[in-house]
Amino acid sequence: MLKKTEEMVAEALAAWNWPDKVKSCERYGEGHINDTFCAVMENGTRFILQRINTNTFTDPEGLMDNICRVTAYLRKQIIAAGGNPERETMNVVPTTDGKSYYADTNGGAWRVYTFVEDTVCLQRVENPADFYESAYAFGNFQKQLADYPAATLHEAIARFHDTANRYQNFEKAVAADAAGRAVGVTKEIAFVRARKEDCSRMVNWLAEGKLPLRVTHNDTKLNNILMDKTTRKGICIIDLDTVMPGLAANDYGDSIRFGANDCKEDEKDLTKVNFSLSLFETYTEGFLKAAGDALTDFEKETLPWGARLMTLECGIRFLTDYLDGDHYFRTAYPEHNLDRCHTQFKLVEDMERDWDKMAVIVKKYS
């Protein structure tokens, strides 16, 4: 019989040598993938305890190997720059037997990070300055890891941002029509098919050697940055589960998709869904100021494609899941994934409209 969560937390806690007696261990944060807890010591020291979602991340050993190698490299970069590695990167606490994670008796995987105190984690862009700081933080992440051999990392989720593959999965979902919904979304299907060639652009440029393989975060939302509580500067990139080989433009583009608008991801009223060229410029300035010459000239030119394709890809994923019967994304009502799809496609249309302006902005800060 599988143990309850409370029992598993107790079992996991016993796998580490804590600096003091554990006073409490309660659920923490707003993450949706892993189970996160905050372990508080009697002396007030805090740690983050997480149970990795092994349904999503089927290779916890490879995942933790990625995280440990990348954070060790980041520590060296931060120290060389005169920074504080205890605050500026995540720090994995090894188990009592020196491992990066603990495999429990239920088949689960647990890890511990030191707690970065005096920071805030924002769930949405509250002002342009926050968006700029997030851009600078992720641009700096690219710069710090520019010389890391990306191909040596494990692929945490196979073909995660392979937009051409996402298109193929979409076509399979249309053909199977598992939920009998295809007849009601003919316009959405036509929207994706009209952009089939776009889906292959970035992966083709990579295959042709025009774009370099980079260490990428692959979930570059604002809430994956810890900001200093006093200065509001982005100091630490968190949630490194999806760190793996990828394209710099995809990391940049996912941030634009998430933050360069003021709408909800499932907004029903599409008149409220608008791509913000102003926020696009704010993010581009911060990202390129930090990344600097770590990116090639062609990488910089393709940044708008990263924004457009990450948004299109996300919409395709929502539509694919809708056609499949809503098995991947959590939904609150039958048309939830369809509403999400519509917001992404509206943003794609806006980007297509502003395409030349986006290119001018990128060139301005390159």
Q: Give residue-wise pLDDT tens across range 97-152.
A: 999 999 999 999 999 999 999 999 987 777 899 999 999 999 999 999 999 999 99
- How much of the chain is helix, strand and coil, in % rounded to 5? 50, 15, 35
Phi, psi of 194 (to 5 degrees): -65, -15
8 Å CB contact between 321 and 246: no
Q: What homologous superfamily does CATH list for 5-117? A: Phosphorylase Kinase; domain 1 (3.30.200.20)
Angle at 159 between CA 250 and CA 166, to 5 degrees: 80
Lateral strand order in the sheet of 234-237? 119-120, 225-228, 234-237
Q: Where are the domains of the chain?
A: 5-117, 128-365
pLDDT band at 191 (very low <50, low <70, confident <90, very high): very high
CATH (one of 3.40.50.300, 3.40.640.10, 3.90.1200.10, 1.10.3300.10) for 128-365: 3.90.1200.10
Residue 341 CA to residue 349 CA, distance in Å, equals: 13
Residue 76 CA to residue 73 CA, distance in Å, equals: 5
8 Å CB contact between 137 and 100: no
CA–CA distance from 10 to each of 53, 57, 114, 242 (Å)? Answer: 18, 23, 18, 27
Q: Give residue-wise pLDDT tens across range 303-321.
A: 999 999 999 999 999 999 9
Over the chain, what is the mean pLDDT? 95
Strands 225-228 and 119-120, sheet pairing: antiparallel
Total Cβ atoms within 10 A of residue 231: 9
pLDDT band at 2 (very low <50, low <70, confident <90, very high): low
